[in-house]
């Protein structure tokens, strides 16, 4: 006899699938990556672990085969390997110091390469390029400003040096200051003043201060004739503006520049202060003229 199904029988539920068992896998910590351990195979060094030797100019040696090295120099400077670029920059420095005539045809390209390297976030590459700029300034001086092509490239290089001199990284900042000093020391002050004047009104107040410092160094090397060729009224206005700058470095540089102007302007005058006062009152707003006279009368 067939069995009848029970009316009250519970429905049969399907069996739930079993949960997968989780397996713990040890993941190396970020700090362990790239670290040699006695239980692992040695990790080969990477370019990030490489160290750069910063060679002072006086310790750089001449290249034994400068013409041959020059052929591969540009390729090395344009390499994507930053270590190769650093090595090529050091060779550029050696060529500048001992075989500068070989670099004359590629000066514009060199300065643009320096600008690109200074913008690189890798500090070692940035510092090496700044050191190279110092040697190029010392080797070529005013030649960098004579041709329109190199003069334009120099504008870009000057701006980058001013920006790097304002960096928080002290060793980069100090190297940029040395390069700016080398620039002022190797170039005629009149031509350089024309380049610097644009930056004493820069939006970045630290750039303004660095430009004012370089301008004061230029002014200290000039006599009255050169100041008049630049424009004595323009120069005194630049000094007066920097005297009212927000940063004390800019104000101190302005005081130095005004002192140089006063000394040159009144060198052959008997009534020095009166002559200076008349000049300032004729060319400056009353409050600025008063500051300029007060500054020199307190010396």
Domain-by-domain residue ranges, the chain?
61-187, 216-299
Cα(225)–Cα(287) distance, integer angstroms = 27
Question: How far is residue 296's CA from residue 259's CA, in Å, rounded to a whole number?
Answer: 7
Would you tell me how many other CB atoms lie within 10 Å of the CB of residue 253?
Answer: 27
CA 202 → CA 124, 163, 197, distances in Å? 27, 11, 10
**Cα 128 to Cα 51: distance, rounded to the nearest angstrom:** 12
Q: Tell me the pLDDT tens digit for each residue of 80-138.
A: 999 999 999 999 999 999 999 999 999 999 999 999 999 999 999 999 999 999 999 99
Tokens 């079993």 locate to: 18
- Single pTM value for the model: 0.81
pLDDT single digits (tens) 172-205: 999 999 999 999 999 999 999 999 999 999 999 9
- Whether the pLDDT of residue 60 is over 80: the answer is yes
Could you tell me if residue 36 is left (phi over 0), alpha (psi between -120 and 50 degrees) or otherwise beta?
beta
- % of the chain beyond a pLDDT of 70: 83
CATH of the domain spanning 61-187:
1.25.10.10
Sign of the Cα pseudo-torsion (277, 282, 284, 288, in order): positive
């Amino acid at each position: 006899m067939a069995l009848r199904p029970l009316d009250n029988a519970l429905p049969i539920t399907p069996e739930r699938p079993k949960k997968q068992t989780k397996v713990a896998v040890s993941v190396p910590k970020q700090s362990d990556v790239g670290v040699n351990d006695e239980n692992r195979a040695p990790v080969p060094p990477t370019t990030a672990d490489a160290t750069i030797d910063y060679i002072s100019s006086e310790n750089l040696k001449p290249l034994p085969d400068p013409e041959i090295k020059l052929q591969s120099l540009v390729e090395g400077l344009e390499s994507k390997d930053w270590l190769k670029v650093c090595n090529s920059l050091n060779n550029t420095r050696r060529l500048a110091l001992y075989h500068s005539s070989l670099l004359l045809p590629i000066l514009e390209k060199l300065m643009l390469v320096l600008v690109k390297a200074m913008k690189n976030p890798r500090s070692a590459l940035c510092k090496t390029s700044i050191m190279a700029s110092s040697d190029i300034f010392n080797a070529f001086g005013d030649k960098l400003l004579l041709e329109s092509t190199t003069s334009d490239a120099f504008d870009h290089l000057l701006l980058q040096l001013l920006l790097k001199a304002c960096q928080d990284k002290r060793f980069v900042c100090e190297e940029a200051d040395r390069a700016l000093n080398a620039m002022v020391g190797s170039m005629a002050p009149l031509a350089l003043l024309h380049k610097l004047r644009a930056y004493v009104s820069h939006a970045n107040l630290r750039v303004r201060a660095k430009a004012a410092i370089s301008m004061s160094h230029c002014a200290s090397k000039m006599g009255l004739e050169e100041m008049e060729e630049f424009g004595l009224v323009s120069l005194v206005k630049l000094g007066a503006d920097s005297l009212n700058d927000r940063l004390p470095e800019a104000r101190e540089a302005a005081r130095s520049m005004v002192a140089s102007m006063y000394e040159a302007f009144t060198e052959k005058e008997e009534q020095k202060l009166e002559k200076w006062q008349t000049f300032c009152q004729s060319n400056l707003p009353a409050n600025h003229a008063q500051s300029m006279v007060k500054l020199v009368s307190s010396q």
